[in-house]
Amino acid sequence: MSTILVAEDEAHILFLIQRRLESAGHKVVPFGDGLQALEYALEHRPDLLLLDIMLPGMDGLEICRRVKAAYDHEAPPIVLISARGQQSDIEAGLAAGADEYIIKPFSPRLLLDTVEAML
């Protein structure tokens, strides 16, 4: 069982993600706030981070940068999720250190396949 940090401020999307990942046997640690997600990630080092880009407190790009800097090449995989789907948005996410970028809306199957591939 992998521990996955999910930072998403839209409750219905967080619920969907959490249900899908838990049904696949993963432990989900949910957050609706970027600062709280960062604190948890730095203290507990989850197996994977699934981050919305637009979050209160701190955006997903900055969380990504800080986690990657703190753990260097031992950092857990990070998947960004965003409604921003322009090529420049994707490039910015990957430049921040994300391992994968999923555009909203997304299928639960794509989400699970991406998570499994990252683990």
Token pair recorded at residue 9: 């401020």
Q: Looking at the whole model, is its pTM more than 0.75?
A: yes
d(CA 47, CA 29): 11
Q: Is there a contact between 68 and 42 (Cβ–Cβ < 8 Å)?
A: no
- Taking only the tens place, the pLDDT of each residue in 36-76 is 999 999 999 999 999 999 999 999 999 999 999 999 889 99
d(CA 105, CA 45): 27
- Taking only the tens place, the pLDDT of each residue in 2-31 is 999 999 999 999 999 999 999 999 999 999
- CATH number for the domain that contains residue 64: 3.40.50.2300
Domain that holds residue 15: 3-118
Tell me how many domains the chain contains. Answer: 1
Amino acid at 89: D
Q: For residue 99, what is the DSSP state?
A: S
Token pair recorded at residue 107: 């299928």
